Structure 1
């Protein structure tokens, strides 16, 4: 088996390890019940077993795509490892996605099948019906604790009688398809190969000196690159143990950390801020805390370090880089507040608008190069042409500067993405949804500052004449409900302004910063129609 594929998680050394690969917390009451351990050998057998079941039920061919839609669970982890190690492409989806979002992602990835939790078919979940409408097979996957394996029920008859005895993916084969939002259209598909992902896994292991004795408490969702690669796969690559929380819960966090003897966790700044409102135990096993996916305020970093008595190491990551690009190193090296740290296994340059490197200390666009970086967006030559300088150097769209010691400081985003607690939201998607709401004439969304999430979705609308008699409060309630029905919860606008007009540039083009500033001026106005 190639050393730089996901199958290397199950090398001969790992299969002999006595420490568990996974600790599974029960979703019912994770605060009082001890987690279920799953060894590396048991995880390997579960992957082989599910690979056999999927081969018999679906008979997929190398390069086929299998979509998955799970909360954090054994089913999620085993399905992902089975698909990717079977020379297939895994396309994980957020269980919170609505019908329109599932439709888009299935249309874009064209999967052979969609794997879902047990019971979803009987419950008539929208994702199941969307898959069926597209001729996509649906398989229900269920983890059986007593057997340490997954069972699958598919809406098809057996298609193959082949036996699966080994896992042999290829280094340069695409293993994972994720999407990243952009400001110029719908989310773009990012293909990540085994080599891309394996390099990031190794980079993270080396950055934090992870070892077999480390235990990661995984609180980030596993359909997101942060939780999947940053917390789970990097831990498995180190031979350590991943304690899997079904979801982040402030109430359950410390009992889970103590039950699992966690030595580290990785999360967005929002989670760190929430944990500051909890009572931390007088003693725990954490040796560091990793922060990523959104900018961490220096004041918050200082509070977390003081409250939990361990270093907080801020990192910088993107889907296109298979997650991590830079990070502050653990002690005794310096970790600098306000910086996202040093390049970790990548080459980094600060380039100007012409693609030329700027002098040290000057601001420019952060650009990177490395084995972990995707070769380009799938079926999107226009995006590829604008996202890479010759080299190739991937253009992150973020502005930053490097200090004399090589630490990167981000100074702002070039792109207009809304960053809500690490979830990147493309404003055009929100705009398009709201413009379909009856009574809305114009709609412009943008990032609005928020103490907890860093940013939330702000929305400015101009009403059609037919809706003006409703009154701003009734209209905003209706718009928000419309968004709840058509968008994932984290994309729903938190603040809505009803304006008489939306400011535009000289050519009539909407300029989001000006619209945002227009709404900022109304925040303290008693006449503002903000809800």
Structure 2
């Protein structure tokens, strides 16, 4: 399979060739959608968005936890040719406000339990301050917020069914109308934000071709077929959840089980009840599964587990395979590459612990600071080139130029080396991002919050290695003489501004933070000094 065409083409092809084959099972409700039903539901969502006067190519955000409603909504936006904007629900209000403003979202589809957070973000000062003119003489319109659920989707289907035969025929023709054909392989499909070193999230634009190529990399790298069934326990606002466990099955005509959220108590029950043949998790979840380990059960239907989004420690890797008797395939991917770029091969081929494996569907280079190729075994920056690599950073030409170099090679910011068999080993990062549980956190974002307290003189967040999350956030501050501010007060401020997930686990008080000759705080020295 190639990545030509659009998500509309792919979904319609699946509904035509695999109409009664199951595609999605909602683990919370037990409801199952075959490919024919999927097409009907995503078309209904796309038609609804069109009825609101939103044009193809414009931004529509989704802020939802997993399930049938979320999956159908996202695929409906992609099917309709809209730019689907993923909203990370664990981000703080101010970050969400920035993303909603910067993305030029016109409509936000959310769920009742998240509606208050989304409305607060839209009505916050952070949203106003992030607003920039869209074009000359164009006024910024505050996006509307709509709470949706399975009942909403059912109501769209009922309205469609209740229409006249003429109306139904017209609705069916909308999917292939001349207007819809303006959506092409290179058209914007997904806008997903990832943290940058400046603290301002960067919007990664992935085209229809990028997403399909990402799904192909998954299907080919893991030898997926129409008999495979995935368990999706990562949120669909995360590139791993969306591109790996939704796009992978979609391009291979397989199926996926989608519970509302990850649960160690429910994980193996879902695997067994729905006979899942594979799953994708992050190292944090592997740690939790080991912590709450059940009695070992032989599962001949379960082919493999897959780890990504953060480095998997060799010890944890080995412990998981020994405990559960399941091959764990370590991989590596980025939001900018529609997920997977590297993967260890499937058994019985060699899998190397501590390595995310070999290139799958991409070309790779290890280069020096001048972009010259490094000799085998020597460390340099990892560059990627392939059909899955993003089209651009949204409204950020400078960042795009810096990231895309020398003929569409993408600079990952990761340092690594390649062994004599072509396996990659990641040794560090050029940038100072903290990677907690597979999520990128910019230290500067934490710094800025701490500096908002009147008593804080200096502040710097940094990463500390962590068995559960790969890395955890800590911070160091120096405060004014005679200040009475406490660690608890600063932590409360962080939770309020950036959310509990990004909040430091600890805040250390120092007389003065370490600085270099230029007076710049040396963030990397903090871990050494505070060990």
Per the normalisation by structure 2, the TM-score is 0.89
* Conserved? CA contact 1:402–1:409, under 8 Å: yes
Question: Structure 2 matches for 1:106-505, cutoff 5 A?
Answer: 106-118=100-112, 125-127=119-121, 129=123, 135-144=142-151, 147=154, 163=171, 165-166=174-175, 168=180, 169-277=183-291, 278-284=293-299, 285-465=301-481, 467=483, 469-470=484-485, 475-505=486-516
Note closer, same or farther for the CA distance 1:324–1:119 as it changes in structure 2 (3 Å cut).
closer
> Aligned match of 1:43 in 38, 41, 46?
38
Note closer, same or farther for the CA distance 1:517–1:88 as it changes in structure 2 (3 Å cut).
same
Note closer, same or farther for the CA distance 1:505–1:372 as it changes in structure 2 (3 Å cut).
same
**1:61-84: CA deviation from partner (whole Å, max 9, x where unpaired):** 122100110011222111111112
* Conserved? CA contact 1:328–1:340, under 8 Å: yes
* Conserved? CA contact 1:45–1:149, under 8 Å: no
Q: How far 1:441 moved relative to its partner? A: 1.9
* Conserved? CA contact 1:180–1:424, under 8 Å: yes
Matched, 1:8 2:17: no
Q: How far 1:185 moved relative to its partner? A: 4.0
Note closer, same or farther for the CA distance 1:37–1:356 as it changes in structure 2 (3 Å cut).
same
Q: Distance in 1 between matches of 2:55 and 2:479?
A: 51
Question: What secondary structure is seen at the aligned counterpart in 1 of 2:323?
Answer: helix
Question: What secondary structure is seen at the aligned counterpart in 2 of 1:424?
Answer: strand
- Alignment RMSD: 2.5
Note closer, same or farther for the CA distance 1:3–1:311 as it changes in structure 2 (3 Å cut).
same
> Aligned match of 2:94 in 75, 83, 100?
100
Q: How far 1:515 moved relative to its partner? A: 2.3
Question: What secondary structure is seen at the aligned counterpart in 1 of 2:342?
Answer: strand
Matched, 1:90 2:84: yes
Question: What secondary structure is seen at the aligned counterpart in 1 of 2:203?
Answer: strand
Q: How far 1:124 moved relative to its partner? A: 8.5
Q: How far 1:219 moved relative to its partner? A: 0.4
Q: Distance in 1 between matches of 2:269 and 2:244?
A: 22
> Aligned match of 1:78 in 37, 56, 72?
72
Question: What secondary structure is seen at the aligned counterpart in 1 of 2:185?
Answer: coil
**Worse-superposed segment, 141-150 or 257-266:** 141-150
Q: Distance in 1 between matches of 2:340 and 2:415?
A: 17
Q: Distance in 1 between matches of 2:501 and 2:432?
A: 17
Q: How far 1:374 moved relative to its partner? A: 1.4
* Conserved? CA contact 1:142–1:150, under 8 Å: no
**1:401-454: CA deviation from partner (whole Å, max 9, x where unpaired):** 111111111111111100111011011111111111342221100111111111
Note closer, same or farther for the CA distance 1:151–1:479 as it changes in structure 2 (3 Å cut).
farther
Q: Distance in 2 between matches of 1:94 and 1:462?
A: 31
Note closer, same or farther for the CA distance 1:446–1:331 as it changes in structure 2 (3 Å cut).
same
Q: Distance in 1 between matches of 2:309 and 2:205?
A: 19
* Conserved? CA contact 1:175–1:194, under 8 Å: yes
Q: How far 1:375 moved relative to its partner? A: 3.1
* Conserved? CA contact 2:93–2:499, under 8 Å: no
Note closer, same or farther for the CA distance 1:440–1:243 as it changes in structure 2 (3 Å cut).
same
Q: Distance in 1 between matches of 2:114 and 2:157?
A: 16
Count of aligned pairs between the two proteins: 500
* Conserved? CA contact 2:305–2:327, under 8 Å: yes
Question: What secondary structure is seen at the aligned counterpart in 1 of 2:206?
Answer: strand
Q: Distance in 2 between matches of 1:79 and 1:37?
A: 16
Question: What secondary structure is seen at the aligned counterpart in 1 of 2:317?
Answer: helix
Q: How far 1:307 moved relative to its partner? A: 1.2
* Conserved? CA contact 2:240–2:339, under 8 Å: yes
* Conserved? CA contact 1:35–1:260, under 8 Å: no
Question: What secondary structure is seen at the aligned counterpart in 1 of 2:193?
Answer: strand
* Conserved? CA contact 1:254–1:280, under 8 Å: no
Q: Distance in 2 between matches of 1:266 and 1:478?
A: 37
Question: What secondary structure is seen at the aligned counterpart in 2 of 1:66?
Answer: strand
Q: Distance in 1 between matches of 2:428 and 2:66?
A: 32
**Worse-superposed segment, 136-145 or 418-427:** 136-145
